[in-house]
Structures are given as structure tokens and as C-alpha cells.
Amino acid sequence: MCSSFRRVFVLVCTLYYFSAGAQSNGTRSQSITSPEERIQLGITALMRYYDRSSGLWQTEGWWNAANTTTVIGDAAAIAPRSGYTDTLQITFTSARRRFALFRNEFYDDEGWWALAWIQAYDVTHRQQYLEMAESIFADMSGGWDNTCGGGIWWKKDRHYKNAIANELFLSVAAHLSARHLGDRRNDYLDWAKREWTWFDNSGMINDHNLVNDGLTPECKNNGRTTWTYNQGVLIGGLVELSTVTGDPGLKREAKLIAKAAIAKLTDTNQVLHDRTEPNCSADTAQFKGIFVRNLVALEKAAHDDNYVKFIRANADSIWNTARTEDNEFACRWSGPARADGAAASSSALDTLVAAAALP
């Protein structure tokens, strides 16, 4: 009788083992639970899109490449011996051939590259990266005027003042202030404070504590989509400014936005979504990772178990349901798995890196 019981037990365990394997995404599948392993496999797949001659990633746009560069820098901070910093240097040298000094007609594009090089500086301590970020910010500051009472324009043709360009301007100024002493620190800090005062009074933060896309020609909230990245960049900028100034009110504002985004831009499993899914463009495929990247900054500055649970829930959903056998990722983090290109993969990696950065 005992012998029969053991045979049945072994059979049940064996069936469970193969059943679980059948539900996984390929041989590497869900058995890989280490955040560092997930990052390594994801970046290996992402780098298949990398063109060393241009320093950019195929299938994604110019501003996406700045964010992918930031993801590589964030991963390098977690795994200093990974060799990821070599990619930063290649991109720094080669990508500027497309747009000299990483400047073009879009102020938000410039902001993304400034943040990318600030992150590269933090990881490598190479002054050239910080100097490039400062050069980019100097160009961005030329976009400020008195239309709508202040703020910078989205493009240099000066037809639209929107959230993302101004959020990036705030974030870059605050980050630069945190990395300098003396007059330069104060100059950047003055810009950051000036930007936040204007943004806070612009009306772009709606009654639900979410950020809409921009302003109407009459300088009113245009009521357009509350994209996930708009919530994230403002959170990150406020956290950095709070760190520099010691003002706890800035963190409180960031928490309100984070709480609203997690409540209103997720599904019942707390998986984050943007409205274009599953048919994301190269632009919208990038958005969600930016939110999570900045939420980690808030978590480090003001611990909240809800942020930790949210980040881990999204990282697990990405890995278990949105990942192909080749370790590429869908832009829809709740699945199904499919390869949606470099922007979608780098956005997903933002979240995998964020999960690895949690305490």
C-alpha cells in the first residue's frame, strides 16, 4: 500500500512538473527568477537591434534611443562589471553624427538625451557626459518665453506648449543642480523652481491628479490623454527637486500623482497600460517604462510598499506573459507575448531594472 502511494505521488509530481513547463515561455521561461538574470537576457536580446556604427537601435526613433541609453546606464549601475558602459561610450561618440551635440528641433528630444547623459555620468563619472547634458540644457532654456506666462515650447517652431517638454526641463535642471556646487548649482536650481512654479499653475495637472498632454492656444488644459510617461517624468523631477531643496511638499505632490496613476492607469492586476495598446506606436511603446523608472526614484526617496508591489507585479507580468522565447517583449505588459521592437523591449527592461533596484 505504501509502495502504491509512493508511485501515485511521483506520478502526480511528474505531471505537475511537465504541466508547469508547458505553460512557460520556452526553455528559459519562468524558472529564471533572479532580477539580474532577467536583465541580462533582456539586454542581450535588445542589443540584437543595436547598430554600433550609428550608436542607435533599429526599429526605434531618436528620442527612444535616449531612453534606451538610460536603461543601459541604469542596468550598468546594478551590474558594474557587465560591460554595459561600453555601449554608452559608443552611443555618445556615434549617435551625435545624426544630430550634432544631441540637439534637434524638439525640446523634449533634447531633454531625454540630457537625462541619458546625466545617468551615464552617474555610472561612469566621466565629465564629458555631464558637460554634454549641460550643453543640451542651455539649448533647451532658449525655448522659454512669456507665452502662457512661461514654460518652454515643445518644438522650436513655437506652436505648442505641452507637459513633457516642461517636465523634462524641470527634471534636467533639478538633476544638474544636484550635481554641482556654487553658482552653477544655484542657476540650475533657479530654473527648476521657476519651471515648477509655472507648471503647477499651468492647469496641466487635472482634478484627478493626473497630467494631461498640454495646453490649448488659450493656455488652458487641453484635456488630452494622460499618458503614463507624463506622470512619470513629473514624479522624477519633483523627487530630484525635493532632494536638492529639502522641501517635503514636492514629494507629497509626487505621491499624489503616483497614487492617481496606479489607481487609474492600471488593470485589476495592477499592470500598467496606455490607451493605444496593443497596437502601440514606436512612441507609445516607450511610455510605461519611463513611469516605472521614475517611480523607483520616488520609492527610494519615500518608501511605500504599494510602489514595491506595483513594480514587482509589472515586472512579473512582463516576464511571464509578455516575453517571447527570444526574450523580447510586447508593448502590452499583460500579454500576449510578441516582439514589438526595440522601444517596447527597452520599456519593459526599465521595469525589470526597476525591480532589481528595489531593496
pLDDT in tens, 129-159: 999 999 999 999 999 999 999 999 999 999 9
The mean pLDDT value for 161-174 works out to 98
The upper half-sphere exposure of residue 261, i.e. CA atoms within 13 Å in the direction of its Cβ, equals 35
Q: Is the pLDDT of residue 14 over 60?
A: no
Cβ atoms of residues 254 and 247 within 8 Å: no
Residues 257-290: tens digit of each pLDDT? 999 999 999 999 999 999 999 999 999 999 999 9
Q: Domain-by-domain residue ranges, the chain?
A: 38-357
Grid coordinates of 5: 502511494
The model's confidence at residue 33, banded by pLDDT at 50, 70 and 90, is confident
Is residue 4 very low, low, confident or very high in pLDDT (cuts 50, 70, 90)? very low
Q: Which fold has domain 38-357?
A: Glycosyltransferase (1.50.10)
Residue 224 sits at φ, ψ, to 5 deg, of -75, 180
pLDDT of 230 higher than 60: yes
Question: Tens digits of per-residue pLDDT, 176-185?
Answer: 999 998 899 9
pLDDT at 32: 64
Q: Give the pLDDT score at 7.
A: 42
With 0-12 / 13-18 / 19 or more C-beta atoms within 10 angstroms meaning exposed / middle / buried, residue 225 is middle
CB-CB contact of 234 with 228 (8 Å): no
Q: How far apart are CA 300 and CA 270, in angstroms?
A: 20
The residue with cell 520599456 is: 347
Q: For residue 182, what pLDDT is reported? A: 87
CA of 277: how far to CAs of 73, 139, 268, 331, in Å?
A: 27, 34, 16, 7
pLDDT of 3 above 90 = no
CB-neighbour burial class of residue 55 (10 A; exposed 0-12, middle 13-18, buried 19+)? buried
Q: Which helix (H) or strand (E) holds 321?
A: helix 305-321
Percent of the chain with pLDDT over 90: 88
Q: What are phi and psi of 284, to 5 degrees?
A: -70, -25
Give the pLDDT band of residue 241 (cuts 50, 70, 90).
very high
Give the Cβ contact number of residue 135 at 10 Å. Answer: 16
Asked if pLDDT for residue 2 goes beyond 70, the answer is no
205 three-class SS: strand
Q: What is the pLDDT of residues 198-226, one digit of tens each?
A: 999 999 999 999 999 999 999 999 999 99
Say yes or no to pLDDT of 20 above 60: no
- CA–CA distance from 53 to each of 56, 59, 87, 97, 297 (Å)? 8, 15, 11, 10, 33
One-letter amino acid identity for 282? A
User: Would the pLDDT of 108 be above 80?
Assistant: yes
DSSP state at residue 56: E
Residue 152 three-state SS: strand
- Name 282's Cβ contacts closer than 8 Å, sequence gap at least 6: 59, 60, 61, 64, 341, 343
Cβ contacts of 118 within 8 Å, gap of 6 or more: 129, 130, 133, 172, 175, 176, 179
pLDDT given for residue 97 in this prediction? 95
SS3 133: helix
Select from 197, 266, 303, 77 the least CA-distant residue to 295: 303
